[in-house]
Amino acid sequence: MSETITIGVNHITRVEGHGNIKVDVQNGEVKECKLEIVEAPRFFEAMLEGRHYSEAAIITSRICGICSVGHQLASVRATEDAFGIELTKQNHQLKTLLDMGQYFESHVLHVYFLAVPDFVGAPSVFPLVATHKDVVLSALKLKKLGHDIGEMIGGRLVHPISMIPGGFTHMPTVKKLEEILNRIQDAKEELKNGVKLVSSLTLPDFERETEYISMYRDGEYAFIDGNIFSSDRGEISYKDYRKVTNEYLVPHSTAKRAKFSRHSYMVGALARFNNNYKYLSDDAKQAAEDLGLKPKYYNPYMNTVAQLVELIHIVDNSTEIINDMLAKGIKNEKPVIPELKECAGVGAVEVPRGILFHEYTYDKNGFITKANCIIPTAQNLQNIEDDMNDMVPDSIKKRTKEELTLDLEMLVRAYDPCISCSCHLLDVEFVNE
């Protein structure tokens, strides 16, 4: 590779969002690696001011289509936290199932449609229809399952309808639950093939230890309820999320960044895997072993692999929930109507890309006076940039410009960023020359 180069990857494709990678190398020395976020600002926190509690989840859902379930969950949990509404067991189960539906959709999309093409050297999933038809069909089937779980619980998966603060306006039928249960069993077989496929691929060999942050709840692989856990500092109350996120701005990004104990931290599947490994189902642990993934794993490219492991766990977890619901019978619980008062609350949930926080302050009539949303991708941005800065000086000596461009694109994609949340993505630009 030449002594003085500039890589510029503009609008990294296959990531939901608009972002650019900039690498500036002068005389063999890396001057700068940047991840620029060039998405139009959307102003959700400002739009929420003055809106009624019943609208908060409808509005925040539109922050990001692929994370819409997650935003609704965090939003509803924050409102419930503010008004002191406790989750009934069934409400907890329905929310978890809805979250699982989203994990299915999102992880399958990422592993099969966005990441696998890189590993088999295809520009997108479309050419795979000719070369790997079985894989594509399997992926479509799995994605559809996620979609149908979401539809069963929420009415639709992109911007669900029936989850409101205090409960659900619509209950799944026994027939539907049974049908989904059967399909989940089939999905497990499909996923085992996925494990075989992915274990045959070679991922870039790069490691950098960082701080891993996820949710934590004693006894379970936490999704919608629990505290925060840092691999550096242990458990922290979800109410204290601001102590963890410490948001700040950088000039080259419309997305805010976060840091806690170190210069940056990582959230998402790998962070959850590292922090909550012991609570994975036995088959998920087995899949991890087959894929060569052990806690603590420091290779960010393995985030994609951790997602596949989570899919197996989710199959087992949702089977358990549905069996329990079928055994106990579905109660027609009406949503709790909150008693309005001046109050504030925090919602913390694990969504496919990592831990997500919403916080609202309400006036005595149930209208929002202040809102804050902290998105997983924003929390990861600095960590991605730190990975790039760690990787490039060494790679630049060994890899061609083309190879390095792909390494960087794949690195960003491994984090599964949905930049539309934090603001869109990618273009690698090698500045200079």
Partner 1 sequence: MSKPKVAFFDFTSCEGCQLSILNLETELLELLDIVDIVEFREAMSEKSDTFDIAVIEGSYSRDSDLGRLKEIRETAGVVVALGACAHIGGLNALRNSQQREDLLKKVYPDHPDWYETNEKALPISAAIKVDAVVPGCPVDVKEFVHVVKNLVLGKDPGLPTYPVCVECKLNENICVYELGKTCLGPVVRAGCNAVCTSNGGVCIGCRGLIPNPNLNSQKDIMQKYGLDIQRIIDSVNLFMTENAREVQ
Chain residues in the site for partner 1 (CB under 8 A): 11, 13-14, 16-17, 40-43, 45-47, 49, 51-52, 55, 58-59, 62-66, 68, 105, 109, 113-114, 123-126, 140, 143-144, 147, 154-159, 161-162, 168-170, 249, 251, 254, 418, 420, 424
Binding partner selected for residue 59 from partner 1, ligand SF4, none, CB under the kind-specific 5 to 8 Å limit: partner 1
35, 384 Cβ separation under 8 angstroms? yes
User: Is residue 155 a contact point for ligand SF4 (CB under 6 A)?
Assistant: no
Angle value at C-alpha 154, between 55 and 328, nearest 5 degrees? 120
Least distance from partner 1 to the Cβ atom of residue 412, Å:
13
Q: Name which position in 62, 89, 334, 370 contacts ligand SF4 (CB under 6 A).
A: 62
Burial 21-53 (b: 16+ CB within 10 A, else e): bbbbbeeeebebbbbbbbbeeeebbeebeebeb
10, 424 Cβ separation under 8 angstroms? no
Least distance from ligand SF4 to the Cβ atom of residue 56, Å:
15
Residue nearer to ligand SF4 on the CB measure, 8 or 65: 65
At residue 156, the 3 state secondary structure works out as coil
Q: What values do phi and psi take at 232, rounded to 5?
A: -90, -35
Binding partner selected for residue 3 from ligand SF4, partner 1, none, CB under the kind-specific 5 to 8 Å limit: none
Beta bridge partners of 372: 359
Cis peptide before 192 (omega within 30 of 0): no
Residue nearer to partner 1 on the CB measure, 161 or 330: 161
Counting Cα atoms < 13 Å in the Cβ hemisphere of 110 gives: 32
Q: How far apart are CA 300 and CA 316, in angstroms?
A: 25
156, 105 Cβ separation under 8 angstroms? no
Q: How far apart are CA 81 and CA 357, in angstroms?
A: 12
Q: Of residues 92-151, which lie at the interface with ligand SF4 (CB under 6 A)? A: none
**Roughly what angle, to the nearest 10 degrees, separates helices 401-414 and 376-398?**
160
Binding partner selected for residue 307 from partner 1, ligand SF4, none, CB under the kind-specific 5 to 8 Å limit: none
Q: How far apart are CA 139 and CA 40, in angstroms?
A: 32
Binding partner selected for residue 162 from ligand SF4, partner 1, none, CB under the kind-specific 5 to 8 Å limit: partner 1
Binding partner selected for residue 317 from ligand SF4, partner 1, none, CB under the kind-specific 5 to 8 Å limit: none
Least distance from partner 1 to the Cβ atom of residue 296, Å:
32
Binding partner selected for residue 170 from ligand SF4, partner 1, none, CB under the kind-specific 5 to 8 Å limit: partner 1
Interface characters, 215-234, with ligand SF4 (x: CB under 6 A): --------------------
Helix (H) or strand (E) holding 368: strand 368-374
Number of chain positions touching ligand SF4 (CB under 6 A) = 2
Contacts of 209 (CB under 8 A, 6+ apart): 296, 298
Residue nearer to ligand SF4 on the CB measure, 26 or 162: 162
Q: Of residues 64-93, which lie at the interface with ligand SF4 (CB under 6 A)? A: 65
Least distance from partner 1 to the Cβ atom of residue 132, Å:
15
Least distance from partner 1 to the Cβ atom of residue 11, Å:
7
Interface with ligand SF4 by CB under 6 A: which residues? Answer: 62, 65
